[in-house]
Amino acid sequence: MSDSGARACDVELKKALPPRKKASVFITPVRSAVYAADYREACDLNFQAAGKKISIQAWNITKRIRQVDELLRADASLVSRLYECHPEWQFYQFSGVEMPSKKTAVGIDARLKLLAGRLPGAQERYDETMRATLRKDVQPDDILDAMLLVHVARLSAGAASVLSFPAQLQYDPFGLPMNIWYVDGIRKQS
């Protein structure tokens, strides 16, 4: 993550998404904000470093960002095996159209239909996970995002064309990559 401003990958992805999906990209807070004790401190630290406060949505995922940051900084061998992806962009690549909101029944159904056409047993896996988890722990759209990203990981291990935002590799001050990866032309993949 950056120490001084918005990451190019977040900015480029936000520009590439259809207009109603741009809000799905939370600009990653600067490192000091990710390690802040509370939201107010995070906003202050981010403003000092980058000239902008952070959204509450970004704050709500800072614990997970911090966990990944600590993991990668503790074990550099994981850097070559862990890739940042964005499900909304990948669903857009998958379908070629702007998907309905993933928080609605229509959006969930549309995503599940796309996955079912490419992942044998997708409906059964989704239903099983819905039964096995509590909604306070896992939301339906989170399950679909995870299923998609597992499929993308499998495709990227094969012959699929893997691209990133930005196209050129970028690294933070600790040598960790700052790119968002996706499989290009996934609509053509099976």
User: Degrees (nearest 5) of the Cα angle 8, 10, 14?
Assistant: 115
Residue 187 scores a pLDDT above 70: no
List of long-range contacts for 122-131, beta carbons under 8 Å, 24+ apart:
122/147
Give the model's confidence band at 37: pLDDT under 50 very low, under 70 low, under 90 confident, else very high.
very high
Spatial CB neighbours of 74, under 8 Å, sequence gap ≥ 6:
none
Are 90 and 188 in contact, with CB atoms under 8 Å apart? Answer: no
Per the prediction, the chain carries an average pLDDT of 92
Question: Can you read off the two tokens belonging to residue 88?
Answer: 């909304």
Residue range 93-108: mean pLDDT, rounded: 93
pLDDT in tens, 131-162: 999 999 999 999 999 999 999 988 888 767 89
Burial of 15 (0-12, 13-18, 19+ CB in 10 A): exposed
**Mean pLDDT for the stretch of residues 108-112:** 96
- pLDDT bracket for residue 186 (50, 70, 90): low
